Copies of this chain bind each other. A is one copy, B any other.
Amino acid sequence: MSQAFRLKQSIEDAVMAGEFRPGDRLDEASLAERFGVSRTPIREALLQLGAEGFIDVRPRRGAIVSVPSPTRLFEMFETMAEIESACGRLAARRLTPESDAAMEAAHHACEEAVRNADSEQYYADNRNFHEAIYRASRNGFLADQAFALHKRLSAYRRIQLRARNRLLQSLQEHAGILEAIRAGDEQLAASRLHSHVLVQGERFSDMVLGLTQDRSVPAGTRSGAGR
């Protein structure tokens, strides 16, 4: 596989691991040195990450880890809520034994993590649970979109899950979602997923708003993201 692709993964991982924090500059020379390659594949990786919205590449001004405004972040969570509820609706409509088993297994893993109060493990299992729902939609393209957005938001979601109490509540919501999907109740599955996701976004946004004191809420931000 090409270096550019490997680098793309590595840089993405580094960003998601919090090694580069939002606003940090990703300068080509130091990345090149760090990974022992020339600037060329680094540039290629950065441009791809930029096209996917993970980072901001500003012409002639270098790339930075994108810093979504609180408003933008809320918009992203709201969009995630819409996409996830679409997945849930389709999953309820098209449930197969395989999908069912996959969601069931992921849910059990989440239960286990909660029993152990292992929030880091829950973070991983939670992801699997949601991905199982995406796949259960039996729409590969929609699932891909959901994966991508989930990944973009995971940094923010992780912080949210640290709140102890939230773990149990999240698990209970999962149970409700699973129940609705199994019952074939599209509406209920959609609405439960919607609030499950949106609540996280709202809580997180509240947190951010509280921290930054930024209540300006500019309407049409358009930080070179999803294009």
Contacts and interface: CB of A to CB of B under 8 A. Distances in A.
Contacts of A79: 86, 139, 141-142, 145
Interface residues of A, number: 40
A221 interface: yes
A50 B221 CA distance: 25
B47 A141 contact: no
A76 interface: yes
A18 to B, nearest CB: 22
Nearest to A87: B82
Interface in A53-93: 59-60, 72, 75-76, 78-79, 82-83, 86, 90
A2 B222 contact: no
Contact of A142 (B47, B60, B75, B139): B75
Interface string A37-57: 000100110011111100000
A123 interface: no
User: What is the interface of chain A mostly: helix, strand, loop, or mixed?
Assistant: helix
Given A2-B60, A75-B139, 10 more contacts: A5-B59, A40-B40, A47-B51, A48-B51, A72-B141, A78-B139, A78-B141, A79-B86, A82-B142, A141-B225
A115 B226 CA distance: 35
Q: How many copies of this kind of chain does the complex include?
A: 2
A52 B53 CA distance: 10
Interface of A: 1-2, 4-5, 40, 43-44, 47-52, 59-60, 72, 75-76, 78-79, 82-83, 86, 90, 138-142, 144-145, 147-148, 219-222, 225-227
Nearest to A224: B144
